[in-house]
Amino acid sequence: MFQHTEIEEEEVIGKEHWVMNEGSRLFLWEKALDLGGDGLGSILFVHGSSMASQPTFDLNVAGRPYSSAMNWFALNGFDTWCLDVEGYGRSDKTKDSNFDISSGANDLSVAANYICDLKKIEKVHVYGISSGALRAGLFAERQPERVSRLALDAMVWTGEGSPTLIERRKKIDQFKATNRRPINYEFVRSIFMRDHPGTTDEKVIDAFSEYVCSLDDSIPNGTYVDMCENLPIVNPLNLTMPVLVMRGEWDGIASVDDLLNFFRLLPNPDKQFKSMPGISHGSFQQKNYLMVYRMLYDFFTQPEPVYVG
């Protein structure tokens, strides 16, 4: 089912949740038409290196319906969740840590266990973008019994052939010298300019950048260090659930060959590789965002195979 009126977006209900992980408070945000149910399933959305979860997944832009992916998926039958991993947004930021990908995967484990206990379910669908895809993949390796279907968007595997990481490695000494780096509006805006300017409307860039900077004036360096020095982090051979790999046409974070090599090693034959035309980095904020939602919806609602041989 697909909803198409902005009035119905207003019917989506939001609720904040808080969970503890090793003495730190983590912020979880839930949106659904019925907070008491699970609908078509629960989706846990995982944010990237440079922003918290709500700007990425629950954005509001005047005149642009369904800028909130959570609203769109809630209206189409899902219980939706996003998490600020430690060091970001509304979650605690007090530890002396650069909050690397592994620590984010630990946060996802706590969040998924909380959701499953609350909803009395065994598994959640998981979508991660950029370093959030690495967090999601590593969590799925560690706790495959908690993941129904896994979607990896704007991911990198080995880093081979990545223009973005070539440039980022030039600053590795800066990233390793301190746990956090400052951010501002111009930095967030640059995310949409570095690969292929024009894929995102200016009003969306403005709304997104302002929301990100309202929650954080600095962000952890751990994911940048990991992506520059410690790849590969996710082992595709350990991802036993159905997997969707999504790559924007102009995304510089990973080459097509790098991701295809990852895709070939995924053991579950229920797997898909989607090339997203007209997309750079940050697919939910792009002009073609509704196409991305539909790709993801189709994957999460795909029937399980009747015959497996």
pLDDT, tens digit (0-9, with 9 covering 90-100), for 10-36:
999 999 999 999 999 999 999 999 998
Question: Where do the domains of the chain lie?
Answer: 6-300
Does residue 236 register a pLDDT over 60? yes
Q: What is the pLDDT of residue 148?
A: 98
pLDDT, tens digit (0-9, with 9 covering 90-100), for 117-144:
999 999 999 999 999 999 999 999 999 9
Q: What is the pLDDT of residue 2?
A: 54
Q: Which residues of 135-173 are buried (b: 16+ CB within 10 A; e: fewer)?
A: bbbbbbbeeeebbbbbbbbbbbbbbeebebbeebbeeee
Q: Can you give the pTM of this predicted structure?
A: 0.97
Q: Report the chain's mean pLDDT, rounded to a whole number.
A: 96
User: In the CATH scheme, what is the code of domain 6-300?
Assistant: 3.40.50.1820
- How far apart are the two ends of the chain, measured CA to CA in Å? 31
Q: What is the pLDDT of residue 8?
A: 83
Rounded percentage of the chain residues whose pLDDT exceeds 70: 98
pLDDT, tens digit (0-9, with 9 covering 90-100), for 39-81:
899 999 999 999 999 999 999 999 999 999 999 999 999 999 9
Average of per-residue pLDDT across 85-102: 98
Q: What is the pLDDT of residue 36?
A: 87
